[in-house]
Structure 1
């Protein structure tokens, strides 16, 4: 039995566009992915469907897709096993008749596609079953009455229709693939022999494109784990740095600990000692229409190299104030007026009022975990708690990004066997979370993340690349 339209979530918003100039793209949550070229419109459709099947497999559930091509538009349901269902399809109006129709009505026999062809770099497993798909459109067209035979005399009476200039365009050039810049391919390109980029470089370019997008309205990311030492603060710093660097969007990292957090200890301190409580006290002034945008600098601490700001938690030595839900609302209202991206660090108590109110404001949940079993178990319980609450909380848990960092015990001084065990444990934990969340990303051990202020440029290249992939997975949820 097919999946009905109401059973498939509209998240993320997916569109597949095939143009008659030989180009196509798949847009997932506002992020465009170029479809590999094909020799025909049908091949472009198949290549676009391969990307959508990959998205469904990543989400491990069917997805809804709006389709547009030269022959019409409509909506599909695409399953992880490659099954395609039609929700609606409306053929494009005929522009003109080139010749008289035959006097005997004909029908097109539906063809069964066993599997959606995938680009070489993204193989898709063959499904057990597939939906019948018409040889020309994406899926079976809606049933229509058999057309009545027409005579040639009727066609002769029809005047030819002149095409509108709105129906054509001279901008038909396909996107240009920039040559390789990395590795031996990049070396040959610089020597004058143009080389296409490798699959790894193409993947990196796609991640950069994902984190460089601008989204309508502000977005809030919550970084949560009920266990201390799970890498929450380094995760907040790295996501803020990468999103701010590549997107250019005003970004703030907010330490939403109940009392005193550590985000301020791992980042640069500005020319003042103000914290979130000072910002809340000044909220009336900061929300006034007459207040200049630069006034927010009095309350946040700018990171000169990584281009984001930090809102510190209260550093009162007595630690006698716990942030309330109402104060979270006020601070969030202020920050989303001045920033497009808000990345929230958190404490370890999922029952705290400020923790729960943070979740109410969250668009994307991130759960960091080091490859130690008690940190992983705490992450699982955090997700389970949110899922049990239902509604918005459960949706955040299902679409969470889990970031697994290799244990800080995996130091260079460890033997090769011990290092292998540490990596295997990280992989085991990553594999364990994969069926329950939208994405899991592994981060290699890097001493620059262990102690002191965290700087993106201080990381090893492999670690920078891994965090870019993590930020791209987060941005895909916007």
Structure 2
């Protein structure tokens, strides 16, 4: 596409997350679309390089995307950089682009008071013995490294040599990754609760487990504590055995013995190869009356779980009056209310928090420090409903986090890798909120 360029062409580019963009050259828009944001960036920067070649000098490009706005210098050969050439070519009144992009570095200067005093201690008496002069250790020397963007458009340009710092969004994501990667001193137990069925407890259990295990390493157990057709086992990978909670219960004494080995727990749990956590299944084929678990049974199971795992995430089931449910609350360190935007799910979660406030001091603390995860369960459901429910929980709980609709969460095996990028990011945000309470 040829254009009659002005002596100093005005160029600006806007990029959208859906790999579409627009380049405006002296007020004339050109639209771009590509199969990925990486290809889109290449196409737009290639076009700007053509314009710079036509102009015979570097040109300035203003870039806008979800990470912010900044200036770039594009050379006639399509390369990015050499901002000095840009300021020389376009006049001394323009500051180099690098002054707007690079993080400034302070250069230490000599203290004038120390050099201008004009005094020395040449006449001082030398001691008979001298101490060794102070020096820095050669070991564990921290070398400061410039922090460069790694994601999005800024990350692509940083890899090309532009000294771009991370965006605020990237810094937040890094902080949340650090939070979910921590290993605490001693095991922690997280309970995923809501007395209403279908409130997204099982996906919340599985996907929080995946975030913690994929980032913090092994030692994460997802435990189905449901005696009324718990489906965590149906929605996760199965090992080459059929073990459930009922299989583990008779083996608790042996597993707590001094001779028990770490790998012995593998006879009773089902490892998730991609998502790195283990699942302790319930038996959905048995009647609830055939798989009752008493408070004492739960204590034995929990003792085994916290011996072999650093983080235990429990899918609670729906019967808030069951012994195993109440005993779970007694062992919980962080409570998570799982809900959708449906009124009956949200109301059941709110009523549960209010009831726990009245139960005892431990339960009241869990309720006040709870994290609420509100999932958009229907593709056609407005996102505003999800945000409205989250805001409604703010007076009741410590944090409320929203999860966008994702078809991969509805039916079939749950896999973190299969989720859309924005859904993965939302689950990371939710897991980081949970980690704050651990």
Q: By the TM > 0.5 criterion, same fold?
A: yes
Secondary structure of residue in 1 paired with 2:233: helix
Pick aligned residue for 1:295 from 259, 264, 270? 264
Q: How do 1:245-256 and structure 2 match up within 5 A? A: 245-256=214-225
Whole-Å Cα distance in 1 between the matches of residues 333 and 144 of structure 2? 32
8 Å Cα contact 1:299-1:311 kept in structure 2: yes
Secondary structure of residue in 1 paired with 2:266: helix
2:375 matched to 1:405?
yes
Whole-Å Cα distance in 2 between the matches of residues 252 and 239 of structure 1? 11
Report how far residue 173 of structure 1 moved.
6.0
Report how far residue 435 of structure 1 moved.
2.0
Q: Residue 92 of structure 1 corresponds to which residue in structure 2?
A: none
Secondary structure of residue in 2 paired with 1:279: helix
Task: Report the CA distance shift for 1:176/1:401 in structure 2 as closer, same or farther (over 3 A).
Answer: farther
Whole-Å Cα distance in 2 between the matches of residues 475 and 239 of structure 1? 10
Q: Residue 361 of structure 1 corresponds to which residue in structure 2?
A: 331
Q: How do 1:42-441 and structure 2 match up within 5 A? A: 176=145, 178-319=147-288, 320-406=290-376, 408-409=377-378, 411=379, 414=380, 419=381, 422-441=382-401
Q: Residue 69 of structure 2 corresponds to which residue in structure 1?
A: none
Report how far residue 169 of structure 1 moved.
8.7
Whole-Å Cα distance in 2 between the matches of residues 280 and 309 of structure 1? 17
Pick aligned residue for 2:416 from 451, 456, 477? 456
Pick aligned residue for 2:425 from 465, 468, 474? 465
Whole-Å Cα distance in 1 between the matches of residues 284 and 385 of structure 2? 36
8 Å Cα contact 1:405-1:442 kept in structure 2: yes
8 Å Cα contact 1:275-1:315 kept in structure 2: no
Whole-Å Cα distance in 2 between the matches of residues 177 and 193 of structure 1? 12
Q: Deviations over 1:149-197 (max 9, x none)?
A: xxxxxxxxxxxxxx9x99x999896864531011111111111112100
Secondary structure of residue in 2 paired with 1:435: coil
Report how far residue 314 of structure 1 moved.
2.6
Whole-Å Cα distance in 1 between the matches of residues 319 and 144 of structure 2? 49
Report how far residue 325 of structure 1 moved.
1.2
8 Å Cα contact 2:225-2:324 kept in structure 1: yes
8 Å Cα contact 2:228-2:287 kept in structure 1: no
Report how far residue 326 of structure 1 moved.
1.2
Q: Deviations over 1:278-328 (max 9, x none)?
A: 111111111111111111100000101100000001344344221221111
Whole-Å Cα distance in 1 between the matches of residues 285 and 258 of structure 2? 31
Task: Report the CA distance shift for 1:394/1:297 in structure 2 as closer, same or farther (over 3 A).
Answer: same
8 Å Cα contact 2:150-2:156 kept in structure 1: yes
Task: Report the CA distance shift for 1:292/1:424 in structure 2 as closer, same or farther (over 3 A).
Answer: same
Q: Residue 67 of structure 1 corresponds to which residue in structure 2?
A: none
Report how far residue 453 of structure 1 moved.
0.4
Whole-Å Cα distance in 2 between the matches of residues 175 and 267 of structure 1? 44
Q: Residue 443 of structure 1 corresponds to which residue in structure 2?
A: 403
Report how far residue 270 of structure 1 moved.
0.9
Whole-Å Cα distance in 1 between the matches of residues 162 and 304 of structure 2? 53
State TM-score, norm by structure 1. 0.61
Secondary structure of residue in 2 paired with 1:317: coil
Secondary structure of residue in 1 paired with 2:264: helix
8 Å Cα contact 1:259-1:322 kept in structure 2: no
Task: Report the CA distance shift for 1:169/1:384 in structure 2 as closer, same or farther (over 3 A).
Answer: farther
State TM-score, norm by structure 2. 0.67
RMSD: 2.3
8 Å Cα contact 2:231-2:284 kept in structure 1: no
Report how far residue 430 of structure 1 moved.
0.5
Secondary structure of residue in 1 paired with 2:166: coil
Poorly superposed stretches of 4+, deviation over 4 Å? 168-177
Whole-Å Cα distance in 1 between the matches of residues 279 and 159 of structure 2? 40
